[in-house]
Amino acid sequence: MDIRDIGKTGNVDRSGDRPKRTEAPRDYVIPSVARDEAKISQKSRETAAAVEGLTERARRDGSERAGVVEAARTKLQNGGLDAPAVLAATAERLLGAKFLGE
């Protein structure tokens, strides 16, 4: 301990008494981005292609679609779609279009 400057500044130099501090080793973490991967099956690709085809078909039929929708709405409100013959025809069209699958 060096006390020579104690009267001048009021401080005592204690640097000689203890060894110099050593810094602890630091661990550095480098962030990494996890990669997401997805595998799409062939069946899903076929389904997506079918949906895209139906979407394109609906877009092409858009000009006359408003009239068809309005006519269907009128039939529905008047009870014209509740007849057994209409229900049977609708079921046949759905089966014919393989609506329920293969």
Four-point Cα dihedral 55, 100, 89, 96, nearest 10: 80
CA 7 vs CA 13, 16, 28: distances in Å: 12, 19, 46
Classified as helix, coil or strand, 27 is coil
CA distance 20 to 17: 9
- Its pTM stands at 0.32
Q: What is the pLDDT of residues 14-60, one digit of tens each?
A: 666 666 667 777 788 888 888 888 899 999 999 999 999 888 887 77
Mean pLDDT for the stretch of residues 66-78: 87
pLDDT at 61 over 70: no
pLDDT at 82 over 80: yes
